[in-house]
Structure 1
Amino acid sequence: MSNPIYNVLFLCTANSARSVMSEGVLATMGNGRFRCFSAGSKPSGRVNPHAIAMLDTIGYDTTQLRSKSWDEFGGDDAPKMDLIITVCGNAKNEVCPIWPGHPTSAHWGYEDPHGETEEELRASFEKIFAQIQRRTAYLMSLGEDAFAPERIKETVRSVAEFDVEAA
């Protein structure tokens, strides 16, 4: 029996940084086990150049990235999502659409990238990107049983508790 491939939608309000970086990191590190997407409740209309720069460091193809509404994933022709993961506090607290198939949801929170100078902003993006990578590496370290259809819900929700600050 082959391993299932899970469709994952990462949500953040603007879909310009954290959700986009999460999409790229899991798609890259997920060993073909995940098809990843990202969207926002109030898309900004552009992906932050710092997010693109971070994804470029891991070889993720950023040519098709765009800031988009979560409405694109609610229609009949949209991919059926297995997992919905919010990555910012605003998206976690918003009333989400009723997703077709009632996918499992979890919150993997990251702070909003910020900085008064370009150097501070770049450093903030690097910090958050490293946190996303650590959480994703932890997920991928859990072993085959963690990805079984009857366990994936528990697995994804438990990963939310992983300490992303640890080195």
Structure 2
Amino acid sequence: MDKKPVDVLFICVHNSARSQMAETFLNDLGKGRFKAVSAGLEPGTLNPLVVKAMAELGYDISGNSTNSVFDYAKEGRSFDIVVAVCSKEAQERCPIFPGKGTRLHWPFDDPSSLSGSEEERLAETRRIRDDIKTKIIEFIAEYS
């Protein structure tokens, strides 16, 4: 009998960058052992630099929707693990999710708060993307 995938929710403020990247990496690299979704406190629109940075690694997230953590709660969804990916600075605004699941906090910089030229912001977005991917690989190893 196949083991049920571990349900993981990634949350941040806007569900436009960090949580989207984490969801994408876990669903791909977790090879069916995990089922990840993402949501935010104030769902926005996908960050175009994140879409571009992910495309560089072969991931097309341009059609992803941004989701509300409140909608998931109203639906009565439950998760085995809830991971907040808000920065340390935004931690007090980072949403929480009800339930008994394990709670983790992985602070990553917010790509929407970056300044500089487009190329400088893209370079920093790539760094954040790569940091998230590394953390996902470590997470998969730890939970496997």
- TM-score range (shorter-chain normalised) is 0.7 to 0.9
Q: Aligned-pair distance for 1:98? A: 5.0
1:65 aligns with 2:64: yes
Alignment gaps of 5+ in structure 1: 148-167
User: In the TM superposition, what is the alpha-carbon distance from 1:128 to its structure 2 partner?
Assistant: 0.3
1:55 aligns with 54
- Secondary structure at 1:141's aligned position in 2? helix
Tell me by how many angstroms 1:26 deviates: 1.1
The percent identity for this pair of structures is: 30
Moved over 6 A (4+): none
> Residue 40 of structure 1: CA displacement?
0.9
Q: Which residue of 1 aligns with 2:108?
A: 110
**Aligned mates of 1:54, 1:82 — CA distance in 2:** 29
Q: Residue 7 of structure 1 contacts residue 79 of structure 1 at CA under 8 Å; is this kept in 2?
A: no
Higher relative contact order, structure no. (Cα contacts within 8 Å, ≥ 6 residues apart): 2
Contact 1:115 1:124 in 2 (8 A): no
AA at the equivalent of 1:67: T
The 8 Å contact of residues 21 and 54 in structure 1, kept in 2 or not, is answered as no
Deviations 1:47-66 (A, max 9, x none): 01111122223333425412
Please state whether the residue corresponding to 2:83 is helix, strand or coil. strand
Corresponding residue for residue 9 of structure 2: 9
RMSD: 2.2
Distance (Å, rounded) in 2 between the aligned partners of 1:91 and 1:102? 23
Name the CA distance, whole Å, in 2 between partners of 1:123 and 1:47: 17
Q: 2:80 aligns with which of 82, 88, 96?
A: 82
Give the conservation status (yes or no) of the 8 Å contact 1:86–1:109: yes
- TM-score normalized by the length of structure 1: 0.73
- The residue identity in structure 1 corresponding to 2:109 is E
Q: Are the equivalent residues in 1 in contact too, given 2:84–2:95 (CA < 8 A)?
A: no
Cα distance, 1:35–1:60 mapped onto 2, change above 3 Å: farther
Q: Write the deviation string for residues 53-84 of structure 1: whole angstroms up to 9, x where unpaired.
A: 222233334254122211121123x5432111
The CA distance in 2 between the partners of 1:126 and 1:19, in whole Å, is 15
Question: Alpha carbons of 1:124 and 1:3: their partners in 2 closer, same or farther (altered >3 Å)?
Answer: same
**Structure 2: runs of 5+ lacking an equivalent:** none
